[in-house]
Copies of this chain bind each other. A is one copy, B any other.
Amino acid sequence: MSTAQETTGGEVEPWEEVTPDAARRLLVAAVEAFAERGYHATTTRDIAGRAGMSPAALYIHYKTKEELLHRISRIGHDKALDILRTAARREGTAAERLADAVGSFVRWHAGRRTTARVVQYELDALGPEARAEIVALRRQVDAEVRGIIEDGVASGEFDVLDVQGTTLAVLSLCIDVARWFNVDGPRTPEEVGALYADLVLRMVGAG
């Protein structure tokens, strides 16, 4: 039988790990609201209203508004890291793995743009401890991409002068997709993923 994770298009619908149902509905509402207006411009009343509940219901499932952001950010970073790890550890040349990593990472940022926007741009709204936890995850994200580029340099596939700087640029390029991508625009997430994979291969001298 189906695990109920599959939706149209083969994409996995996330947040199924969040239970009970009311907590998930609140979290999904918070993602939408934070993505549209930003964390600080979003009120707890708005979140509860989108979830079809009273303002007080939010505090049954979450201690504070910040805890909501923390949970969203944590789950989102875990997912992003998982995507990169899967691509980085598959078999193939460094160029194939880098193209796969960039393509899938970009597809996630474009296809799940609301989530990605919150995850990537609301870090500063977290308190010191929560932010430190997320920053540690980001370092792992950086390490995965840097690892592929180092492999390509070592094997002679890539021609890169500044590995850390190029890693930074590649990640920056992918992450910023969450800022400008428009669901109603002319490009699909798949098209942007393919374009970006090509551009990144050129950046590392493998194009």
> Chain A residues in contact with chain B, CB under 8 A?
37-38, 40-41, 121, 124-125, 161-162, 165-166, 168-169, 172-173, 175-177, 179-180, 187, 192, 195-196, 198-199, 202-203, 205, 207
Contact = CB atoms under 8 A, between A and B. Distances in A.
Majority SS of interface residues in chain A?
helix
Contacts of A161: 198
Contact of A199 (B37, B166, B180): B166
Given A202-B203, A203-B203, A205-B202, A124 B173 contact: no
B207 A199 contact: no
A41 B169 CA distance: 29
Contacts of A40: 38, 40-41
Number of copies of this kind of chain in the complex: 2
B199 A124 contact: no
A39 to B, nearest CB: 8
A118 to B, nearest CB: 13
Contact of A121 (B121, B172, B175, B205): B121
Which 9 pairs from chain A and chain B are nearest by CB? Answer: A40-B40, A176-B176, A40-B41, A172-B176, A165-B195, A199-B203, A202-B202, A173-B173, A202-B203
B176 A196 contact: no
A199 B169 contact: yes
A207 B202 contact: yes
B166 A172 contact: no
Contact of A37 (B37, B124, B173): B124
A205 B207 contact: yes
Contacts of A205: 202, 207
A66 B172 CA distance: 29
A198 B202 CA distance: 11
Contacts of A187: 165
Residue among A37, A121, A165, A177 with the highest chain B CB neighbour number at 10 A: A165
A121 B124 CA distance: 13
A150 to B, nearest CB: 17
Nearest to A180: B172
